[in-house]
Amino acid sequence: MLEPVTVAPGNPQILKPDAIEFIVALDREFGARRVELLERRRRRRSAGTPVLDFRADTAHVRADPDWRVAAPGPGLADRRVEITGPPERKMTINALNSGAQVWMADFEDALSPTWDNIVEGQQNLVDALDGTISWTAPDGRRYELGDTLPTVMVRPRGWHLPERHVRIGGRCVSGSLFDAGMYLFHCARRQIDRGSGPYFYLPKLEDHREARLWNDVFVFAQEWLGIPRGTIRATVLIETLPAAFQMEEILYELREHSAGLNAGRWDYLFSMIKNRPDVVLPYRGDVTMTTPFMRAYTELLVSTCHRRGAHAIGGMAAAVPSRDPQQRRHALATVRQDKRREVGDGFDGSWVAHPGLVETCREVFDQWLRDEPNQVVRRRDDVRVTAADLLADRFGDVVVAEAEVRANAEVAVRYVAAWLDGRGAVALNGLMEDAATAEISRAQLWQWARHGTPMTNGLRVDLPLVRECLEDAAAAEPANPRFAQARALLTEMVSATTLTDFLTLPAYARHLS
Ligand SMILES: CC(=O)SCCNC(=O)CCNC(=O)[C@H](O)C(C)(C)COP(=O)(O)OP(=O)(O)OC[C@H]1O[C@@H](n2cnc3c(N)ncnc32)[C@H](O)[C@@H]1OP(=O)(O)O
Ligand SMILES: O=CC(=O)O
Ligand SMILES: [Mg+2]
**125 and 44, same domain (yes or no):** yes
Pick from 200, 204, 239, 287 the residue to mutate for probing ligand 2's pocket: most ligand atoms within 8 Å of its CB.
Answer: 239
**pLDDT of res. 1:** 66
The CATH number of whichever domain residue 479 belongs to comes to 1.20.1220.12
**331 and 456, same domain (yes or no):** no
**17 and 152, same domain (yes or no):** yes
Nearest CA owner, ligand 1 atom 6:
110
pTM to 2 decimal places: 0.98
User: Quick check: is 164 in a domain?
Assistant: yes
**134 and 211, same domain (yes or no):** yes
**pLDDT of res. 74:** 98
In whole angstroms, give the CA distance from residue 71 to residue 123: 30
292, 294, 299, 305 alpha-carbon torsion, rounded to 10°: 160
Last residue of a domain, one of 348, 364, 388: 388
In whole angstroms, give the CA distance from residue 490 to residue 496: 10
Q: Is 239 in the pocket of ligand 2 (CB under 6 A)?
A: yes
Exposure class string for 440-469: b at 16+ Cβ within 10 A, else e? bbbbbbbbbbbbebbbeeeeebeeebbbeb
Arithmetic mean of pLDDT over the chain = 96
**95 and 22, same domain (yes or no):** yes
User: Quick check: is 395 in a domain?
Assistant: no
CB 133 within 8 A of CB 185: no
Last residue of a domain, one of 359, 388, 417: 388
Catalytic annotation, pick one of 34, 79, 80, 155: 155
**339 and 457, same domain (yes or no):** no
In whole angstroms, give the CA distance from residue 295 to residue 307: 18
The CATH number of whichever domain residue 97 belongs to comes to 3.20.20.360
Q: Which ligand lies nearest to the CA atom of residue 107 in the structure?
A: 1
**pLDDT of res. 444:** 98
Cβ atoms within 10 A of the Cβ of 334, count? 17
User: Quick check: is 443 in a domain?
Assistant: yes
Nearest CA owner, ligand 2 atom 1:
264
Nearest CA owner, ligand 2 atom 2:
264
- Protein residues placing their CB within 5 Å of the ion ligand 3: 109, 239, 264, 267, 436
**428 and 287, same domain (yes or no):** no
Q: Is 316 in the pocket of ligand 2 (CB under 6 A)?
A: yes
User: Quick check: is 394 in a domain?
Assistant: no
**406 and 430, same domain (yes or no):** yes
Give the domain range for residue 417: 402-512
Q: Is 93 in the pocket of ligand 1 (CB under 6 A)?
A: no
In whole angstroms, give the CA distance from residue 504 to residue 493: 11
CA 64 from centroid of its chain's CA atoms: 30
> Could you confirm whether 434 is annotated as catalytic?
yes
Q: Is 265 in the pocket of ligand 2 (CB under 6 A)?
A: yes
Residues in the chain: 513
Pairing of strands 151-155, 233-238: unpaired
Return the ligand 2 atom nearest residue 265 CA: 4
Q: Is 238 in the pocket of ligand 2 (CB under 6 A)?
A: no
**373 and 258, same domain (yes or no):** yes
**315 and 338, same domain (yes or no):** yes
**pLDDT of res. 46:** 82
In whole angstroms, give the CA distance from residue 34 to residue 40: 10
In whole angstroms, give the CA distance from residue 402 to residue 173: 42
**pLDDT of res. 49:** 59
pLDDT in 10s for each residue of the chain, 513 residues: 688 999 999 999 999 999 999 999 999 999 999 999 999 999 988 876 567 899 999 999 999 999 999 999 999 999 999 999 999 999 999 999 999 999 999 999 999 999 999 999 999 999 999 999 999 999 999 999 999 999 999 999 999 999 999 999 989 999 999 999 999 999 999 999 999 999 999 999 999 999 999 999 999 999 999 999 999 999 999 999 999 999 999 999 999 999 999 999 999 999 999 999 989 999 999 999 999 999 999 999 999 999 999 999 999 999 999 889 999 999 999 999 999 999 999 999 999 999 999 999 999 999 999 999 999 999 999 999 999 999 976 567 899 999 999 999 999 999 999 999 999 999 999 999 999 999 999 999 999 999 999 999 999 999 999 999 999 999 999 999 999 999 999 999 999 999 999 999 999 999 887
Last residue of a domain, one of 362, 388, 414: 388
CB 445 within 8 A of CB 405: yes
> Could you confirm whether 421 is annotated as catalytic?
no
Cα first-last separation, the chain:
28
**pLDDT of res. 47:** 77
**188 and 241, same domain (yes or no):** yes
**23 and 92, same domain (yes or no):** yes
Count of domains for the chain: 2
**pLDDT of res. 177:** 98
Pick from 81, 90, 91 the residue to mutate for probing ligand 1's pocket: most ligand atoms within 8 Å of its CB.
Answer: 91
Q: Which residues contact 306 (CB under 8 A, 6 or more apart)?
A: 312, 346, 375, 376, 377, 378, 379, 380
User: Quick check: is 124 in a domain?
Assistant: yes
User: Which of helix, strand or coil describes residue 314?
Assistant: strand
Q: Is 469 in the pocket of ligand 1 (CB under 6 A)?
A: no
CA 372 from centroid of its chain's CA atoms: 28
Nearest CA owner, ligand 2 atom 3:
264
Supply the DSSP symbol for 55.
Answer: -
CB 67 within 8 A of CB 255: yes
Return the ligand 2 atom nearest residue 203 CA: 1
With a cut of 0.85, is the ipTM above it?
Answer: yes
User: Which of helix, strand or coil describes residue 234?
Assistant: strand
Give the tens place of pLDDT for each residue, 412-463. 999 999 999 999 999 999 999 999 999 999 999 999 999 999 999 999 999 9
399 CA from centroid of ligand 1 (Å): 34
